[in-house]
Amino acid sequence: MQNIRVMAKSFLSLTVSNKAHKCVNKYREIMKRILVPLPSKGADPSEVAIPWKLLTEQGVDVVFITPDGKKAQVDQCMLTGKALGIFKSMLAARADAVQACQLMENSDEFLHPLSYQAVNADSFDAIYLPGGHDKTVRPYLESAILQKLIVNFFQAKKLVAAVCHGVVLVARSIDNITGKSVIYNYQTTALLKKQELLAYNLTRLWLDDYYLTYPEITVEDEVTQALEKPQQFKQGPLPLFRDSVSSLSAGFTVCDRNFLSARWPGDIYNLASKMIDKLTM
């Protein structure tokens, strides 16, 4: 009798285990994966951490990549606001973004990113390009590896999302078939020229041109040059207030086919919600 009970328990355990494995495998099949490239230093904390938090809460697998596969460092000026003086409340990361960043920086995916060269578009459902204006983000914006990767996502008609300077990286991605930017015939937005110059003028006495990633050209001007017509660049409503979970309408996102774009951290909840909608629909 004892042997029969042991055999029955083993059979039941095996059955449950098989069902569990089937459930896990089924979950893996339906779980969406989004690729998030980061510069080694200087990514905007709000534009990285808020989408990470909202996406992971919805069961989306976020995979970070960096140039060398080492942990990235977000822009400490934006995170702490210490160098921003009286304009800290206007320009620095908000408390919710700081909290999200603290959680993210202790996550396994952030602590152990892959390298730019270790991934391909076939393994992911989407790619998200955050921004950052410190000049340490230039190698990220100029990466030929990332530009080729973005072209592959567009050619596969997979979701591509970008905000702020991240749109510059997308605009610089040249389709090898057309010889033009992947967003040549798309509508888009990005960091507005008036936003970029306002931040620069408010802080230039002590931060010099910190807010001008490329002093010779603004984000809006470069992105517009990549488009077929200047009218494809959308300004959106005046960016006075930042959005939130309870106030998504305060943010502005341009949706054109498989491409989502936004302007600044004040649009980030709106953008993240659109990403989630696209990935989970």
- Per the CB < 8 A criterion, the answer to whether 208 and 134 are in contact is no
Give residue 228's domain range.
33-280
Q: How confident is the model at residue 25 (pLDDT cuts 50, 70, 90)?
A: very low
Residue 5 lies inside a defined structural domain of this protein: no
Q: What is the per-residue pLDDT for 280?
A: 87
Q: For 234-248, what is the mean pLDDT?
A: 95
Residue 199 lies inside a defined structural domain of this protein: yes
Residue 166 lies inside a defined structural domain of this protein: yes
Residue 243 lies inside a defined structural domain of this protein: yes
Torsion (CA) 275, 269, 161, 84 in degrees, nearest 10: -160
Q: For 235-247, what is the mean pLDDT?
A: 95
Rounded to whole angstroms, how far apart are CA atoms 222 and 270? 24
Q: What is the per-residue pLDDT for 31?
A: 84
Q: How many domains does the chain have?
A: 1
Q: What is the per-residue pLDDT for 162?
A: 98
Residue 100 lies inside a defined structural domain of this protein: yes
Q: For 48-54, what is the mean pLDDT?
A: 98
Residue 24 lies inside a defined structural domain of this protein: no
Residue 6 lies inside a defined structural domain of this protein: no
Residue 207 lies inside a defined structural domain of this protein: yes
Q: How far is CA 100 from CA 105, 133, 184, in A?
A: 9, 20, 34
Q: How confident is the model at residue 15 (pLDDT cuts 50, 70, 90)?
A: very low
Q: What is the per-residue pLDDT for 265?
A: 98
Q: What percent of the chain has pLDDT over 90?
A: 88
Is the Cα dihedral 128, 105, 111, 106 positive or negative?
negative
Helix (H) or strand (E) holding 223: helix 219-225
Instruction: Look at 112 and 16; give whichever has higher pLDDT.
Output: 112
**Domain holding 131: CATH number?**
3.40.50.880
Q: How confident is the model at residue 76 (pLDDT cuts 50, 70, 90)?
A: very high
